[in-house]
Structure formats: structure tokens, C-alpha cells
């Protein structure tokens, strides 16, 4: 990993701060307008951390596509963060999760009814922010949001389904994680007035990056890191079929596969060593890592169509961070 040039780092941090300030003032405006507790609480969740990955991607994609006016893209960038946070809140309810970003989840703190509504409120405002853009952009965001729902249904159907195939996995990931990345990048290109070819390249960049992002998530779930802010093995406990597990279930045979199935069906913290041993036998961690790198390379390859610029370096930096992140 190369050291990041200071100018890039300053720009990255400066923009992240701008996004944070814009999110803060959006929430403050709604509170001032009388939105009360729902804005207060949704705001706390929205502002309680997060890498602002989707907004930053949108801004950099806008810039490499020729966009010059940060104000022109900011609402779309914020929209992706609000919608993302809305889905996290509803996901946490559905997963009965206790922790998010190291703090107690919203439904655990204020009860499920208010948490469902807070998610709805964030979603409304996220979607509302897209209202100033072209119908093409609004349709892209609608489709990516609808695909999240479609994929979440699929994911629920595959809970503890040990016959889940890599194709099922990819379909779910494309809808749930990578699609919103792609929509943020593609719509940014549209706002910048880029060529069709460039817009499509940005969409593919976002999709590939999003798949890599999810694969890294899968790996983090197995490795664990206290900085993650959620317990190690959350996916395994919830019966979510992550790629390393799918790979191992496909490669292992006979007694070993039966043993792995047993572990997954009855997982507890005492089974970590056995699980990781089996995943090592099938080389599934290494496989998921190399698959992640392939998708990252594909993502970066899409940027070849754009001239060298600070924004392009930053997009490559974001891709690098997907690989190196710990949460």
C-alpha cells in the first residue's frame, strides 16, 4: 500500500467534513421546521459515524465525469447516505441486531415502532433530495431501492440454505449492496452531463466496487475486529450465506462437509476454531480475498476511460480503502 499524497488526503478529509456538515444542517433544518423527535433520533443515527463512502463516491464520479459545481451534486450525494442509513435501521430490526457501529441499535433503544418510522422518515428525505434531478436520475434511484427490497427477500429465503450457489450470492449482493453503489456513481455521471459510455463505465465501476465491498464485509465477519463495532460472526450466527461459507460448502465433501453443515446449523463461539480450520482446508478465505481483488481490479479498470485527475486518484484511493478497511 502506497502512502497517500497529502493533497489527496486533505481533499478526502475536507470533502468528508463537508458531507458531514451538510447532513448536520439538513437535520437541523428539519428540527427547526418542527419535525421533532423523529428528526432528532434519525439525525443521531445518521451523524453517529459512517465513512460517507456513497456520498464521496458520488462526488468523485461527478468530478471525473467533468462536473465542476459541488452544490450541483451534493443533494444526490446526501440522498445516498440517507437512504443507506434508512436501510441499516430496517435491516437491524429484521436481523434483531443489538449493536451497530459499536453502539446499541435504534430499535433496542427506542423500541421497534419508532425505529421503523425513523427508517421511513430518512428514506422519505433521501428520496426527496433526488427530486431536483432529472427523471433519469430519479428512476435510477427508484430502481436501486426497489432492488434492495427484492434482494432482501432473496436473502431471507437463503438464510441457512446450505445449497445457496455463488450465483444466488452474486444476485443478492448486486441488488442489496453493489446496486446502490452503482446508482450513486452512475447518477453522478448523469448530473455531470457525461457521455453515455462514461455514465455506463461509472455504473460498472460502482457495481464492481460494491461487490468487492461486500466480499470484504464477509471476510471481516469471519476475522473479527473490535473496531468493526459489531460482533465477530454476526452473519454466521444469523445464518447468512457469505461467500467463504458458500465456497467451502461447494468444495468440501463427505464427512468434512457434514461437519461444516453441522457447525453452521448450530453455531456458537466455541466453534470458531473448527469453522476456521475447515475454511482453511477448502482455501475459502484465500478464494474470497482473491475474488475481492478481482472485482476491485475490474472497478479500477473502468476508470481507464477517464483522464488523470485528483478525483480519479481519489476514486482509486477509495477502492484501496475498501480493501484495507477494518469496518
Coil/strand/helix, residue 140? helix
Q: Considering the rule CB under 8 A, would residue 169 count as an interface residue with a second copy?
A: no
Helix (H) or strand (E) holding 174: none
The helix/strand/coil state of 100 is strand
Which region, judged by CB under 8 A, interacts with a second copy, from 114-122, 179-187, 222-230, 289-297? 114-122
Window of 2-10, 67-75, 118-126, 280-288 that interacts with a second copy by CB under 8 A: 118-126
How far is it, in rounded angstroms, from Cα 114 to Cα 119? 9
What x/- string results for residues 16 through 45 when contact with a second copy is judged by CB under 8 A? Answer: --------------x---xxxxxx------
Identify the burial level of 288 via C-beta atoms within 10 angstroms of its C-beta, where 0-12 means exposed, 13-18 middle and 19 or more buried: buried
154 makes contact with a second copy (CB under 8 A): yes
Interatomic CA distance for residues 179 and 322, integer angstroms = 16
Question: 92 or 221: whose CB is closer to a second copy?
Answer: 92
Q: How far is the CB of 88 from a second copy (least distance, A)?
A: 13
User: Does residue 251 bind a second copy (CB under 8 A)?
Assistant: no
Nearer to a second copy, 46 or 248 (CB): 46
Q: Which residue number, 9 or 146, has a Cβ lying nearer to a second copy? A: 146
When asked if residue 125 is in the footprint of a second copy (CB under 8 A), the reply is yes
**Considering only residues 9, 21, 156, 160, which one is a binding residue for a second copy as defined by CB under 8 A?**
156
Strand partners, 99: 104
Residues 286-315, mask of contacts with a second copy (x by CB under 8 A): ------------------------------
Going by C-alpha positions, the residue among 157, 154, 209, 161 that lies closest to residue 176 is 154
Cell output for 45: 443515527
Burial of 305 (0-12, 13-18, 19+ CB in 10 A): middle
Is 116 near a second copy (CB under 8 A)?
yes
CA dihedral 79, 85, 89, 95 (to 10 degrees): 120
Q: How far is the CB of 52 from a second copy (least distance, A)?
A: 22
Element (H, E) at 312: helix 310-324
| The residue to which cell 481507464 is assigned | 304
Candidates 134-142, 220-228, 261-269, 317-325 — which segment interacts with a second copy by CB under 8 A? 134-142
Binding site for a second copy (CB under 8 A): 30, 34-39, 90, 93-94, 112-114, 116-118, 120-121, 123-125, 127-128, 131-132, 135, 138-139, 142, 145-146, 148-150, 152-154, 156-157
Amino acid at each position: 500500500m502506497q502512502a497517500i499524497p497529502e493533497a489527496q488526503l486533505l481533499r478526502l478529509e475536507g470533502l468528508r467534513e463537508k458531507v458531514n456538515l451538510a447532513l448536520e444542517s439538513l437535520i437541523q433544518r428539519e428540527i427547526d421546521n418542527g419535525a421533532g423527535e423523529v428528526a432528532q433520533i434519525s439525525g443521531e443515527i445518521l451523524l453517529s459515524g459512517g465513512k460517507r463512502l456513497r456520498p464521496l463516491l458520488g462526488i468523485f464520479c461527478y468530478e471525473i465525469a467533468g462536473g465542476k459545481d459541488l452544490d450541483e451534486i451534493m443533494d444526490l450525494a446526501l440522498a445516498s447516505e440517507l437512504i443507506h442509513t434508512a436501510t441499516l435501521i430496517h435491516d437491524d430490526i429484521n436481523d434483531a441486531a443489538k449493536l451497530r457501529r459499536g453502539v446499541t441499535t435504534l430499535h433496542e433503544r427506542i423500541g421497534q415502532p419508532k425505529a421503523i418510522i425513523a427508517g421511513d422518515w430518512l428514506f422519505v428525505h433521501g428520496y426527496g433530495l433526488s427530486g431536483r434531478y432529472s427523471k433519469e436520475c430519479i428512476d435510477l434511484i427508484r430502481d436501486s431501492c426497489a432492488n434492495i427490497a427484492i434482494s432482501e427477500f432473496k436473502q431471507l429465503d437463503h438464510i441457512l440454505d446450505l445449497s445457496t450457489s455463488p450465483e444466488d450470492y452474486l444476485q443478492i449482493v448486486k441488488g442489496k449492496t453493489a446496486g446502490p453503489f452503482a446508482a450513486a456513481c452512475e447518477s453522478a455521471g448523469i448530473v455531470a452531463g457525461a457521455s453515455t459510455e462514461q455514465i455506463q463505465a461509472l455504473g460498472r465501476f460502482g457495481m464492481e466496487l460494491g461487490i468487492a465491498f461486500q466480499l470484504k464485509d464477509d471476510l471481516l465477519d469471519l476475522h473479527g475486529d473490535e473496531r468493526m463495532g459489531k460482533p465477530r460472526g454476526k452473519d454466521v450466527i444469523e445464518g447468512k450465506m457469505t461467500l467463504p461459507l458458500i465456497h467451502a460448502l461447494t468444495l468440501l465433501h463427505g464427512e468434512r462437509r457434514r461437519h461444516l453443515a453441522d457447525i453452521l446449523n448450530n453455531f456458537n463461539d466455541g466453534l470458531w476454531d473448527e469453522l476456521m480450520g475447515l475454511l482453511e482446508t477448502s482455501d475459502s478465505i484465500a478464494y474470497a480475498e482473491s475474488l475481492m481483488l478481482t472485482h476491485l481490479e475490474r472497478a479500477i479498470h473502468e476508470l481507464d476511460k477517464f483522464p488523470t485527475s485528483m478525483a480519479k486518484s481519489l476514486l482509486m484511493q477509495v477502492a484501496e480503502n475498501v480493501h484495507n478497511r477494518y469496518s
